[in-house]
Chains A and B, each alone.
Chain A
Amino acid sequence: MSTVVKKGAPEHRMPLHHFLNATYTVKSWFLTMDHKRVGLLYLFSIGFFFLIGGTFASLIRLELATPEADLMEADQYNVAFSMHGIVMIFFFLIPSIPAVFGNFIMPLMIGAKDVAFPKLNLTSWYLFIFGGSFGVLTTLLGGVDTGWTFYTPFSSTYSNTNVLLAGMAAFIAGFSSILTGLNFMVTIHKMRAPGITWFKMPLFVWGMYATSLIMVLGTPVIAITLGLMMVERGFGIGIFDPALGGDPVLFQHLFWFYSHPAVYIMILPGMGVISEVIAAFSRKRIFGYDFIAMSSVSIAVLGFFVWGHHLFVSGQSIYAGMVFSFITMLVAVPSAVKVFSWMATMHKGSVSYDAPMLYALGFIGLFSVGGLTGVFLAIMGLDIHMHDTYFVVAHFHYVMVGGAVTAFMAAIHFWWPKMTGRMYPEGWSRFAAFLIFAGFNLTFFPQFIVGYLGMPRRYHVYPEEWQLLNVMSSAGATILAAAFIVPLIYMIWSLKNGKIAGPNPWRATGLEWILSSPPPEHNFPSTPIVREEPYDYGEVIDNPVHKEEDEKV
């Protein structure tokens, strides 16, 4: 089941006036206060950083195809994985879904005219670009070799690379994140249309809210941590340097206090997307709405109590480790609640396998693998063996790429028609989804094995006996890299040549689908009053009359 235009029904036309053709000037884009345009500005920016981060990933996998140091020396390899991590985490993953879809779609979903503070929203983007330019400068000047984790005293005292520049990049990008989170929280608290109570909001909005909570509460701590590390490096003060009386583990505490909740910033928006997509492509009301909503907030809150699981082998006290280990296992529960709810939603639904749904199904499987391997690592005894091995690398790539990036792909395929008014070619989109899935698993599953066998991370050489698994991984990475190019091509192609989508090509519920595709500049002509429950798919199936009314926007 694909696009909606029935035989004999009129073909859709692009709306005459929408937010893209309202004005064409450069100023109207770079001084925009339209959340939709800000979302698109972010889309281009994070796409750019994804390319940079991906290039570093290619360098890593190229080097690791052979056991010896063929391509790079140790120092250069350290730069490769550090830059890969910094760019991918701070400049791609953390903004991704919130900055693009949170900005574009969330206000539409709640019937708002814009976010609460549009000028602040634009400022967030400029801060992101400003921080990103520090990141680009760092890259051009030879990068950093501390790892994205900036552990002291190497970063603050001994490293000879551009630590200050890289620290500034992350510091500034952090403020972008804080302001976006603040903006979203106020928008969701104060600007929901009449009838959209907390427990009638789409689950994507719940996801955005929980994510914003973390952004607002956690990011300031990493700001100050990086700040202190930079002060130590610049002034030679021993805040974290043991030779000067400091404690390097304190740095790790402060760093991970943010960086663990940060991973929930990366996944919660994705989970919100998956809820939307699963419901739409099962044509069924989401199962367990209340539980999914509350699980988002639980993950956000509980996520602040587990950071010590990154410090199990650092010298942290065993007793603290026990507590962190226990709570880490608890935090898996709300995620499981979501997975089971999604599966229950699909049960006896009318499932169709368009690209967004393919990505959503991929998400459920891959995120489950990634999440469960996280529980393995949460067990202190296991972590002693697996810490700093490729098992950890595989775990977090399963949740970050198999989870967050897959959800991003689901989101862009789901909302592309809304944002651009065009459909992409269905066959190619499904092909790309399968290719990405295959490439991803070939890249990262061998890493679980080789990590369990003891291959350490952040090393550019390894014993010969592990070469086969590493070659498989590098081959997978090649396929994955090529696979990402396919959607890039067909989506650009679709801008001029894609079928015109109309307001609601997926016949999904949600306020955003009432508006034209692309939406008008000022969103709704007047604030809507909502009377339906969210995900009212049951009605649509049972009552054919409604179907036609839906299309008559």
Chain B
Amino acid sequence: MSVSTEAASHSHDVHADHPEYMRHQFDDMDQQNDAANLGMWLFLLTEVMFFGGFFLGYSIYRTEYYDSFVNGSHHLDVFLGGLNTVALITSSVTMAFAVRAAQLGKKNHIIMFLVMTLVLGVVFMVNKYLEYSHKWHDNLIPGLDFIWTEPGDPRTIQLFYAFYFCMTGTHGLHVLIGLGLIIWLVIRTQQNKFTPQYYAPIENFGLYWHFVDLVWIFLFPLLYLIGGLH
């Protein structure tokens, strides 16, 4: 087959046009940014399916053992859960502003908003720690020392708590990883790595952080607010 090889992009010898942040496998920054963006969205797609398995199991058992799940849910701390919801939503806003600051090239604002996001994420994790330690004191950790003294079927209530810990635990792990990545982004911003022409890591991390918020937006009503409160 005949193929022209003259026109398109330059040869490998000319490196002057490559900014430091442009990777060799790409022809131009548009392509690189598009690829990175699509890559992150696809990764989030895999995360949706990952959590989806949890949501499926949870939904089946909630339908089957509704009363037990209501019972178990009543022992969850709605206040802390609600506070966490507000914390994550706010952190999503600050993250959005961080990306916006990156688009405008305002380095100090980027760092400020990233740090605010980090602080809110830490608040979330501290609340999580408080909740988990309460559960430990109340003997509500399935498989370790689950003791249910009140009325209700301990077998199926333990199932509720199994899902509670698995889902919030996996979510919490994702938050922790996010916090680590924020610190890395702050360092790189401080080192002047980002410009209005190149801020893809911040933008794509933002996508990840919003996803973490999204999962919690569903977890909160499903776990904490079942069957009404009194």
Contact = CB atoms under 8 A, between A and B. Distances in A.
Q: Do chains A and B touch in the complex (CB under 8 A)?
A: yes
A237 B8 contact: no
Interface string B158-169: 110011001000
Given A115-B25, A250-B60, A531-B2, 20 more contacts: A112-B25, A182-B39, A182-B42, A182-B46, A185-B38, A189-B35, A191-B25, A225-B53, A228-B54, A235-B143, A238-B155, A244-B155, A245-B153, A245-B156, A511-B3, A526-B5, A526-B11, A527-B9, A527-B27, A530-B1
B4 A528 contact: yes
B50 interface: yes
Interface string B1-38: 11111111111100000000000111100010011001
Contacts of A511: 1, 3
Interface in B163-216: 163, 166
B26 to A, nearest CB: 8
Interface stretch (A95-103, A214-222, A367-375, A419-427): A214-222
A530 B65 contact: no
A343 interface: no
Contact of B24 (A114, A224, A546): A114
Contacts of B42: 182, 185-186, 216
Interface residues of A, number: 60
Interface in A201-237: 216-221, 223-225, 228, 231, 234-237
A224 B50 contact: yes
A531 B2 CA distance: 8
Contacts of A191: 25-26, 31, 35
Given A221-B53, A244-B155, A529-B5, A189 B162 contact: no
11 contacts: A115-B25, A190-B34, A190-B38, A191-B25, A228-B54, A231-B162, A245-B155, A247-B64, A511-B1, A522-B24, A529-B5
A524 B56 CA distance: 47
Contacts of B159: 237-239, 244-246
Contacts of B65: 245
Nearest to A182: B42
A178 B26 CA distance: 22
B88 to A, nearest CB: 22
A288 interface: no
Contacts of B25: 112-116, 118, 191
A216 B202 CA distance: 23
A250 B57 CA distance: 7
Contacts of A186: 35, 38-39, 42
Interface in A80-139: 112-118
Interface in B80-131: none
A231 B11 contact: no
B229 interface: no
A239 B51 CA distance: 16
Contact of A254 (B2, B46, B56, B64): B56
A525 interface: yes
A216 B44 CA distance: 10
A536 B49 CA distance: 41
A523 to B, nearest CB: 9
